[in-house]
Amino acid sequence: MARLATTSDVYNAIAEPQRRSIINLLAKGELSVNDITETLELNQPQASKHLKVLKEVDLVTVRKAGKQRFYNLNGENLKPIHDWVMSFAHLWTERFDRLETYLDELQGKE
Amino acid sequence: MARLATTSDVYNAIAEPQRRSIINLLAKGELSVNDITETLELNQPQASKHLKVLKEVDLVTVRKAGKQRFYNLNGENLKPIHDWVMSFAHLWTERFDRLETYLDELQGKE
DNA sequence: TTGACATATGCTTATATAGGAATATATAGT
DNA sequence: ACTATATATTCCTATATAAGCATATGTCAA
């Protein structure tokens, strides 16, 4: 078997550099396919394809407006990755072990 | 072109579920190839191959001891991913915006 | 050296893309 | 209906694996 389909796995979805670039762009606010295409200097079909992958793992949502489709980042679905990577943060920052406690406080979990 | 080679990109290296499992295991301490093979119920060659990929992106290091090779997690190289994902953390936690400041303090960057 | 154990590498196969080009679909305006 | 614009989809190709299997390499012990 080959690698898992990107459409079934957020980790695979963000493994593609241009998809990360798209995510970076969308973090600033919604953009049309054309905006993304031009900013990243992609071919339009490529942009649509990457957006499709991101949509399938629910990392983005679409808003229809006339001829255009405005894509929005659905960043919450990066949280599992965040949580996973965070569990290793203590490896590069000794004082990071206080972080978890801090985060709990932040979220009011006490 | 197809996807970027896993050997050149940490994001691709961790896109493979079993490699993440290996990383999870190594987080608790160094393990031999055999330990990993048995714990994850892999074929020995597969374990070696995954470890090779992880080694090539410098996510693990090896310690030779007789016939065995003990692999150690080199978690610092997960930091770029951590940093990237962290930049979206405010999207799922409103009060997360205080986090960056906190992290700077933690690391003494002021 | 011979044998046993531990690990790495090579080969083959099936599959999953990513990109390019062409085309299809959708929507708005005239 | 016709046209222009915006976006999505299809087909094709080259490439990158991941797994399975066989085999090679490395190391220790008798």
pLDDT tens-digit series, residues A59-109: 999 999 999 999 999 999 999 999 999 999 888 776 655 665 666 666 665
Domains of chain B and CATH, by start:
6-73 (1.10.10.10), 75-110 (no CATH)
What is the pLDDT, as a whole number, of residue B103?
60
Q: What are the beta bridge partners of residue A60?
A: A73
Query: Are the CB atoms for B74 and B58 separated by under 8 Å?
Result: yes
- Give B16's DSSP letter: S
Q: Is the CB of A44 under 7 A from strand D?
A: yes
Split at pLDDT 50, 70, 90, the class of B80 is: very high
Residue B96 has pLDDT above 50, yes or no: yes
Bases of chain C within 7 A of a CB of the protein? 4-10, 14-23, 26-28
Distance from C-alpha of B8 to C-alpha of A72, rounded to nearest angstrom:
30
What does the pLDDT look like over B30-75, one tens digit per residue?
999 999 999 999 999 999 999 999 999 999 999 999 999 999 999 9
Closest Cβ opposite residue A75 in set B11, B17, B92:
B92
Residue A62: predicted pLDDT:
98
Report phi then psi at A61, rounded to 5. -125, 165
Residue of chain B minimizing CA distance to A6: B15
What percent of chain A clears pLDDT 90, i.e. is strictly above it?
72
CA distances from B35 to A14, A34, B26 (A): 30, 51, 10
Contact status, residue B44 vs residue B79, Cβ threshold 8 Å: no
How many Å apart are A79 CA and D9 C1'?
31
Residues whose CB falls within 8 Å of the CB of residue A56, separated by 6 or more in sequence, listed in order: A7, A13
Q: Is the pLDDT reported for residue A18 higher than 80? A: yes
Asked if A23's CB is within 8 angstroms of B9's CB, the reply is no
Instruction: Note whether B76 contacts A91, CB cutoff 8 Å.
Output: yes
- What's the pLDDT band for A110 if we cut at 50, 70, 90? very low
**Res. A49: pLDDT tops 70:** yes
**A-interface mutation test, from B54, B87, B88, most A Cβ less than 10 A away:** B88
More confident residue, B86 or A97: B86
